[in-house]
Amino acid sequence: MTEWFMPLSAYHLRTSIAVSDIHEAVAFYEGKLGLQALQSGPSASVVDGSRVYGSGGGPALNVYQSGTAGKTPATLATWYVDDIDQIVDQLSSVGVEFIRYEQLDHDPKGITARAGGGRIAWFQDPDGNTFALEADV
């Protein structure tokens, strides 16, 4: 008997980010990044411990309170933007700090050339979860 398989590419994907304090996370994701919560709900034993944020016209980011927050140094999600300088300026103006990696050359804003062309900048949330902004030019 042949097993039927539905590829995951047919389904919407949402990134999930663990945070240690949902209230501090809400202040960052809504207050600094300007994301709008589409819904809130429980996270394990925390009654109001999660938020789903919209980006790009649909639900894109699930933020939930968990003891596993900030455990990876890897980039967890990337926003692809048209004007990286403008977005970096706006986020910097509300206190978002951009990461400068020693092995890379960054401009004064913290933006660096991306392999294969384009530009990229990284920042972290209060738990140390890493995000990126990328632009093709």
95 lies in which domain range?
A: 70-137
SS3 86: helix
- pLDDT score of 10: 82
User: ∠ CA(63), CA(88), CA(94), 5° rounding?
Assistant: 70
Q: Of 14, 35, 69, which marks where a domain is finished?
A: 69
Q: Of 69, 96, 121, which marks where a domain is finished?
A: 69
| Residue 50 and residue 12 in one domain | yes
Per-position DSSP letters for 38-65, written without gaps between them: EEEEEETTEEEEEEEEEETTEEEEEEEE
When pLDDT is averaged across residues 71-91 and rounded to a whole number, the result is 95
Q: Of 54, 69, 84, which marks where a domain is finished?
A: 69
* pTM of the model as a whole: 0.90
Number of structural domains, the chain? 2
Return the H-helix or E-strand segment holding 18. Answer: strand 15-19
SS3 35: coil
State yes or no: pLDDT of 29 exceeds 80: yes
